[in-house]
A and B are shown apart, each in its own frame.
Chain A
Amino acid sequence: MLAFLNIDWQTLADAVALGSIYALMAVGIGLVFGVLRLVNFAYGQLVMAGAFALAMASEWGWPVWASIALCFAVVLVLSLLMDRLVFRPLRGHSPAVMLVATFAVAFLMQSVALLWFGPLGKIATSLAYLNRPWTISTVDIRKITIVSVVVAVLCLLLLHLLLERTEIGLHMRASSMDFETARMLGVRANRVIAVAVLLSGALAAVVAVMLTVQNPLVTPDFALRDTIVVLAGVVVGGMNRPVPATLGGFSIGFASGLLGGALPTNQSQYLDSFIFAAVIIVLLVRPNGLFTTAKTVERV
């Protein structure tokens, strides 16, 4: 398959899986942006914290379910703390102030991880068995590849149902379009923001589980590169609407996975250069985003 590009089925499947994980990160970032107009640069550090929770649970010999529960607990608590201690006091300030605050939170969390776990990090092994292959027809595909795609589709489906079929979902959609008017009509801002932050955190925990299977070595800069790539993907897709942003996240993950497989090993360090060159070209040609139009203005 695509032999001239050195791409086989396994590479293609891995690219789809990475695209799925990045799509979840894009949705997680987009949920908070939708209600707070805040690009949370510290999103990757939430993933990193969840990954360290998994690594510590592995070290303590906890069963898989308990490891995953700890990962979710750590990420959700940190998400709420981030909202209470940083986002809420700064609500109403300029986007630049809030963005700088998330930079500060990101580097603070990274520094704390460095102090606690050291630069060499920890290894999360609880779910390592998901790296074993399933043989489909004559093609070997790692279990985590299929699990990532299925979990991402399920998460996106559940999120869609929550946004479209529930009261809080309706309030979140309204708030994302005009927060002040929604508040004037009785929508509870703190409730809507807390739910968005928690959902975003839950997706970060899911991403932490998936990424630690693919890359069990958890270091303080875990998921940092992924977050930057996803943010670029969200912008490429179109910040203004959730579906384009999700597609942007998927596309950049897919392209990254595909290119990573196609590049010869001795040129793999140029992967990010190719990806971000493509981002610049896309933005020059389609400044409003690859999957959106100039008319679209709402989020969530």
Chain B
Amino acid sequence: MQLERRPGESLRASAISRSFDGVQALHGVDLEVRRGEVVGLIGPNGAGKSTLVNVLSGFDHPDSGTVTLGDQEITRWTPHRRGRHGLARTFQHTRGFRSLSVRENVEVSALGVGAGPRVAAARATDLLQRLGLSRYADAPASALAHGDERRLGVARALAMEPRFVLLDEPAAGLPEAEVPAFAELVRSVRDDHGAGVLLIDHNMALIMEISDRIHVLDRGRTLAQGAPAEIRGNLDVAAAYLGETAVAEE
């Protein structure tokens, strides 16, 4: 199932604020991911990245602000309703079907979006091969190492051939030698399927290499956004990562 490429369509978060027990996790954040682009979302620990992904995917609701998918406001939609409309995500902490085989885990996603059994099987074979999981195809998902489980989560999300996919630290635990192949896979999701990708990862080389734009969060606020080259030269971003913002404010 090849999705129609509609470059104008976007997943948009507007003026999102979210607090937990008085701690402001997000403060008026705007973020847009268009189809056919990779947006890197970076920031120090506690910057609000995962909260923003949860709000975008429906696992959390904002205190204020809106989320739109194309021309529909989806702020209060459930995660599965967003899934049916082409929004997929992966998780930092694996939510796999542990008793199913690795292959079945991927097939569930493909079948869930209407692929026939043969297409689902072919899609699973292709994704497992591209993510380096072929040798575990018939093993139960519970047998996978943590890094492999994350890759399985990516395979499951991509098997839906989503319009937008939110990848939450997908490369954590990935051997350095396999990072280029993973980067190639993300590019193909963007280029071949026209999907919009929001990529969170601590691997800066990967983010810088494959992102079309980068959005930087710090303490729940947008610190900077722009092309990788601009972000690389942004002193505020460097300061946030080195903790100098905190020092300066004191």
Are A and B subunits of one complex?
Answer: yes
Set B88, B99, B105, B117: member contacting A167, Cβ < 8 A: B117
Give A177 to B96 CA distance when docked, in angstroms: 8
Contact of B111 among A170, A189, A297 (CB under 8 A): A170
Q: Which of A50-58, A180-188, A283-291 contacts B (4 or more CB under 8 A)?
A: A180-188
Residues of A contacting B156 with CB < 8 Å? 185
Asked if A173 lies at the interface with its beta carbon under 8 angstroms from chain B, I say yes
* Bound-state Cα–Cα, A167 to B121, Å: 11
Q: Decide if B99 touches A185 in the complex (CB within 8 Å).
A: no
Closest to B57 in A: A184
Question: Given contacts A181-B95, A298-B99, are A174 and B83 in contact (CB under 8 A)?
Answer: no
Pick the residue among B89, B98, B160 that contacts A177 (CB under 8 A): B98
Interface of A is mostly: helix
- Chain B residues whose CB sits within 8 angstroms of the CB of A170 once the complex forms: 100, 104, 107-108, 111
With an 8 A cutoff between CB atoms, is B84 at the interface?
yes
- The answer to whether A186 and B84 touch across the interface, beta carbons within 8 angstroms, is yes
* Binary contact readout A157-190 vs B (1 if CB under 8 angstroms, 0 otherwise): 0000000000100110110011011111111110
| Closest CB in chain B relative to A91 CB, distance in Å | 12
Q: Give Cα A298–Cα B111 distance, bound, in whole angstroms.
A: 21
Q: Tell me the smallest distance from the CB of A131 to a CB of chain B, in Å.
A: 41
B97, B98, B104, B112: the one within 8 Å of A186 (CB): B112
Bound-state Cα–Cα, A174 to B84, Å? 17
Q: How close is A177's CB to chain B, nearest CB, in angstroms?
A: 5
User: Cβ of B144: which chain A residues have Cβ within 8 Å of it?
Assistant: none
Q: Which residues of A contact B160 (CB under 8 A)?
A: 185-186
The tally of residues in B whose CB lies under 8 Å from a CB in A reads 26
Least CB separation from A296: chain B residue: B99
Chain A residue numbers with a CB within 8 Å of B82 are 184
Contact assessment for B79 and A182 in the assembled complex, using a CB-CB cutoff below 8 Å: no
Q: B108 CB to closest chain A CB, in angstroms?
A: 5
Q: Distance in Å from the Cβ of A244 to the closest Cβ of chain B?
A: 13
B113 CB to closest chain A CB, in angstroms?
4
Answer whether A185 and B100 are a contact pair too, CB < 8 Å, given A167-B111, A171-B112.
Answer: no
Task: Decide yes or no whether B80 CB sits under 8 A from chain A.
Answer: yes
Per the bound structure, the CA–CA distance linking A167 and B89 in Å amounts to 22
B98, B112, B117: which contacts A185 (Cβ < 8 A)? Answer: B112
Q: In the complex, which residue of chain B has the Cβ closest to the Cβ of A299?
A: B99
Interface residues on A, range: 10 to 19
B225 within 8 A of partner (CB): no
Please name all residues of chain A whose beta carbon is closer than 8 Å to the beta carbon of B78 when the two chains form the complex. Answer: 183
Asked if B109 CB lies within 8 Å of chain A CBs, one says yes
How far, in angstroms, from A297 to B98 measured CA to CA in the complex? 9
B95/A187 in contact, CB under 8 A: no
How close is A197's CB to chain B, nearest CB, in angstroms? 19
User: Once bound together, how far apart are the Cα atoms of A171 and B115, in whole Å?
Assistant: 13
Q: Taking the nearest CB of chain B, how far is it from the CB of A120, in angstroms?
A: 48
Contact A183 B83 (CB under 8 A): yes
In the complex, how many angstroms separate the beta carbon of B96 from the nearest chain A beta carbon? 8
Which residues does chain B contribute within 8 Å of A188, judged by CB atoms?
112
Q: Nearest CB to that of B91 among chain A residues? A: A181
- Closest B residue to A183 using CB positions: B80
**Contact (Cβ within 8 A) A174 B108:** yes
From B88, B99, B109, B117, contact of A173 by CB (8 A)? B99
| A183-B88 Cα distance, complex, nearest whole Å | 11
- CB pair B113–A173 under 8 Å, yes or no, is no
Indicate if the CB atoms of A185 and B109 lie closer than 8 Å. yes
CB distance from A160 to the nearest CB of B (A): 14
B111 touches A171 (CB 8 A): yes
B79 touches A180 (CB 8 A): yes
Q: CB distance B99 to A177 under 8 Å?
A: yes
Tell me the bound Cα distance from A182 to B156 in angstroms: 11
The distance from the CB of A292 to the nearest CB of chain B, in whole angstroms, is 13
Tell me the bound Cα distance from A189 to B83 in angstroms: 13
Complex Cα spacing A185 to B161, Å: 11
Q: Inside 8 A of A177's CB, which chain B residues have their CB?
A: 97-100
Q: How far is the CA of A186 from the CA of B120 in the complex (A)?
A: 13
The CA-CA distance from A177 to B100 in the complex, in Å, is 9
The interface centre, meaning the residue of B80, B113, B117 with most chain A CB atoms within 10 A of its CB, is B80
**Shortest distance in angstroms between A243's beta carbon and chain B's nearest beta carbon?**
11
Least CB distance from B155 to A in Å reads: 11
Name which residue of chain B comes closest to A300, CB basis. B99
Q: Would you mind naming 24 contact pairs between A and B with Cβ atoms under 8 Å apart?
A: A167-B111, A167-B117, A170-B104, A170-B108, A170-B111, A171-B111, A171-B112, A173-B104, A174-B97, A174-B108, A177-B99, A177-B100, A178-B97, A181-B95, A182-B112, A183-B79, A183-B83, A184-B89, A185-B83, A185-B109, A185-B160, A186-B111, A188-B112, A297-B98
Apart from A185-B112, A186-B80, A298-B98, what 14 extra A-B contacts exist at CB < 8 Å?
A: A167-B111, A170-B107, A174-B104, A174-B105, A178-B95, A180-B80, A181-B95, A182-B112, A183-B83, A184-B80, A184-B83, A186-B112, A186-B113, A188-B112
Chain B interface (Cβ within 8 Å of chain A)? Answer: 78-80, 82-84, 88-89, 95-100, 104-105, 107-109, 111-114, 117, 156, 160
Give me the 4 closest cross-chain CB pairs, A-B, nearest first: A186-B112, A183-B80, A184-B83, A186-B113
